[in-house]
A and B are shown apart, each in its own frame.
Chain A
């Protein structure tokens, strides 16, 4: 079974702090994704990566950056956390560019106070 893990289930940070969310997948998937999920809005894509050191902006990249130094690990960085970044963050991976099924981690519920 594909396993996608995220570093924290719950996180509380203060406004202005730098926040790192980590995601690791163990099935040698090429593609990795970061979403945020808010009530009534569904999942919105923040950033994705189709290869090591490659990244592409999703629909809502403002205020976020990402890093993919190793194939199995994809990090989301909030450079200066703000209260409107309080959300559920979901990481996902998929096998390759011709594979559309995504495997999700359990999510990190981030609260910025």
Chain B
């Protein structure tokens, strides 16, 4: 079942700007992950944040997690044309390694 919901559905920004997208989920989680999908391709894992973590960084990516609000955000700083893709959040639950994905945010970075 679909657990996460990303917001906004679509985002268009200028190269060099920051992109922020949000994910909300319904039930308590064990971990939350973000994946990227380039047009017509498979998903690529970006970052995983555990339920006891509040913030995590990886290169130009910053993820926050607020378990009290059941939400997460993904920030991409200094965006590049190559960041044009769809971004999905995925959640899992303790002792259950299946993932539940949201519908995704489509990001377009204009040159």
Contacts and interface: CB of A to CB of B under 8 A. Distances in A.
Contacts of A107: 40-42
A31 B97 contact: yes
Contact of B30 (A35, A58, A97, A100): A100
B48 interface: yes
> Size range of the interface on B?
20 to 34
Given A99-B97, A100-B31, A101-B33, A43 B42 contact: no
Contacts of A99: 97
Contacts of B43: 43, 90, 92, 102, 104
A102 B45 contact: yes
Interface string A25-65: 00000010101000011111100100000000011000000
14 contacts: A33-B98, A42-B88, A42-B103, A44-B2, A45-B99, A90-B43, A92-B43, A100-B31, A100-B92, A101-B48, A102-B43, A102-B45, A103-B45, A107-B40
